[in-house]
Structure 1
Amino acid sequence: MTYLLSEEQSMLRDSARDFLQGQAPVALQRSLRDSDAGLGFEPAVWQQAIDLGWLCAVFPEEQGGLAMGYQGMGCVFEHMGRNLAALPLLSQAVLCGELLLRTANAAQQALWLPALLAGTQRFALALEEGGRHAPLPVHTRARRVDGAWVLDGEKWFVMDGVGAQQLIVTACLEDGSLGLFVVDVQSPGVALQRSRMVDSRNSARVQLQAVRLGDDRQLAAHSHTAQALDAVLDRARICLAAEALGLTREAFERTVAYLKERVQFDVPIGSFQALQHRVARLYTELELLESCVRAALAAIDADAPDLPLLASLAKARASDLCERVLNEAVQLHGGIGVTDEFDLGLFVKRARVLQHTLGDGIFHRDRYALLRDF
């Protein structure tokens, strides 16, 4: 595997950096939070991201994509982390887009993929059913009644669920296997309520009560549904790890800059050896995280067999550093680090959500051990 970016991927990275710094800086996230924006993102900025081709970046060319690979997409997520950019890219392009590619039949792909790639319809994955990440077991039920599917259940923390037109819902079939269904949010029996997250992002809670669906709404009516879902989740976990890398690096660099300019006892506090040691340890940990993220992104593009291991390794380290780096950043800033007027607090809140999304460090260390037959 090679970790070097191609020319096209480098161009994607540079355009993402410039666009996010100019159009979706940290100040925009603060404004969205202060205005209590229900969508959690700015639609005009999201449309510009679509126009830049981000939704199409990892899709194969035969499906209308750009086939740039995940190493390029990872750079986009890294700069989203640096700027706290709130965009529904993960749910649309990675979670739902990859699921449709892997589990939808030709007719379903022809119906939904063009709308997904054009951004004319937003999709969200309704997966979680509790306070912690647990793809399985699934308690939402799908049963056959008079030639149709009937869904009953409740989904928590549906990323970008507010304003989405279609939900991809995981459900347990009558034989105990996993089923996937595309549910129109306007269908009778669907109730969607906004969940207020500490990072002000778009999240919803969905209740499904006797929701009737035709067979054309079921994805992947075969025994490999769980494997397909796991493969998609691993790609999303790696993208989240890339976002966490960008966020923690930005918080680290801001902290180092503060240590150089904050004067105490007539000298910059960054000259104190005790603080230098703490910063040096953080720098080492961040370098290790970057290696994990780069290896995992390259593994996606190479379709490497150890991808699940690398995904859990990257997400576990990213989750741990979301807590450690931001805790240290607050402490090294002192009292100003806990004030709302200071941007560091926004990084802390986003880091806390990233830490737990699609599995925290505990979940992924346990998964890594199981994958290695420990």
Structure 2
Amino acid sequence: MNFELTEEQRMLADTLARFVAAQYGFPTRERIARSPEGFDRGMWRRFGELGAIGALFAPEHGGFGGAGDDIAVVFEQLGRALVVEPFLGALMAGSAIARVGNAQQRAWLARLIDGEAVLAFAHGEPDSRYEPARVATEAERANGGWRLNGAKAVVLCGEAADGFVVSARTSAAVDAEQGISLFWVPRDVPGMTLRGYALIDGGRGAELALRDVALPADALLGEADDGFATLEAALGCGLLALSAQALGAMEQAFGATLDYLRTRRQFGVPIGSFQALQHRMADLAIDIEQARSAVINAAAALAGPRRARERALSAAKYTVGQVGSKLAREAVQLHGGIGMTWELPLAHYAKRLVMIDHQLGDEDHHLARYIGFGFEGDAVQRR
């Protein structure tokens, strides 16, 4: 198996790296992250012009990438700069539309790829506990269309979204894979309310309440009751993206810590010359390489059979969760008291790494999911 990036992917990585280094420094990032919208629309359009959004989608859907490696390349560079623009929601919502959307819904992809639209993915619920099939939001047929009732939690950039891909249950039990459907819900539809708030690691999220939201029949994505495969594929893209983003953030935090150890002096010598600290940094370097291997494996498995794909994705998410939390603790400790200060970028990298572990399933969830997919059959062994 060839793990080398293509020339186009290397060029994209270099272009993104130069752009975020020049245009997305830490003061700029903090200003954007604490803004009323939680991201910068002008910056979002510039990412579109660079091709960073288009790289997430296949050519037949208006992009020029869409493979696991393409997603990993983009999100690793975004992680290095802690970019808060709505890439994750765009990837998951856009992948669902690209997979089963009708012509009207797919028209949004062109606007998304250009950076002219913001799409959000509304799937998680207050009581879902990371389980992808646990959907309590209900959709029922009414007046030739659909009526939705329920709630969605922590919808990234929900306040600013032009539309949402929403999961809802159209039949079967609340935690059954069968009976889930996906819907395109435009912004400002009557009956939908949003409560926005700042996220602890930057940017904004929203709670989404649906009260007798009336949608036309063509708001359905794909077939009724048969949306779980599309949902799982979209979440899989998100898991890979978060894992690659964590990898980029880990490498940046590791580099900052290494620089600090080389410059901070005690007893007349750099503290990086102390053997105990060298051993700790060597352990972290090995852990990051393990995380990189897990991300590469997940990227290669993204388009493969379900069982191998889900195991690889859960393995990557578990690994970056474990390594990211460890690196966050070690980096802060090695910096000493300054590692806790708001003004030092490292503290924000540590916070982001801890929060990535809790997005789309934490370590415990993905360890159980990895074990469950190790048994015969495709069904996950539930706890």
TM-score range, shorter chain: over 0.9
The one-letter code of the counterpart of 2:115 is: G
CA distance in 1, matches of 2:212, 2:306: 41
Aligned-residue RMSD, C-alpha = 1.8
**Identity across aligned pairs (percent)?**
35
CA contact (8 A) 1:41 1:201 kept: yes
Aligned to 2:53: 55
CA contact (8 A) 2:123 2:152 kept: yes
**With structure 1 as the length reference, what TM-score do the two structures score?**
0.94
CA contact (8 A) 1:38 1:162 kept: no
Question: Any idea what SS the aligned residue of 1:306 has?
Answer: helix
Q: Which moved more, 1:142-151 or 1:295-304?
A: 295-304
Is 1:168 aligned to 2:165, yes or no?
Answer: yes
CA distance in 1, matches of 2:11, 2:76: 14
Question: Any idea what SS the aligned residue of 2:164 has?
Answer: strand
1:244 maps to which of 246, 257, 261: 246
Question: Any idea what SS the aligned residue of 2:120 has?
Answer: strand
CA distance in 2, matches of 1:97, 1:90: 10
Aligned to 2:25: 25
Is 1:150 aligned to 2:147, yes or no?
Answer: yes
Name the CA shift for 1:120/1:248 in 2 (closer, same or farther; >3 Å).
same
1:139 maps to which of 136, 141, 149: 136
Within 5 Å, give how 1:52-201 maps onto structure 2: 52-67=50-65, 69-92=67-90, 94-105=91-102, 107-130=103-126, 132-176=129-173, 177-201=179-203
Aligned to 1:298: 300
CA contact (8 A) 1:133 1:358 kept: yes
CA distance in 1, matches of 2:223, 2:79: 36
Within 5 Å, give how 1:194-343 maps onto structure 2: 194-300=196-302, 306-343=308-345
Question: Any idea what SS the aligned residue of 1:326 has?
Answer: helix
CA contact (8 A) 2:162 2:186 kept: yes
CA distance in 2, matches of 1:304, 1:153: 29
Instruction: Quote the offset at 1:223 in angstroms.
Output: 4.9
Question: Any idea what SS the aligned residue of 1:99 has?
Answer: helix
Instruction: Quote the offset at 1:136 in angstroms.
Output: 2.3
CA contact (8 A) 1:292 1:310 kept: yes
* Structure 2, unpaired ranges of 5+: 174-178, 376-380
Report Cα offsets for 1:300-331 as digits up to 9, x if no partner. Answer: 36678612111111111111122110110000
CA distance in 2, matches of 1:13, 1:356: 26
CA distance in 1, matches of 2:172, 2:367: 31
CA contact (8 A) 1:142 1:152 kept: yes
Report Cα offsets for 1:88-121 as digits up to 9, x if no partner. Answer: 11211x201110111213x334433323323332
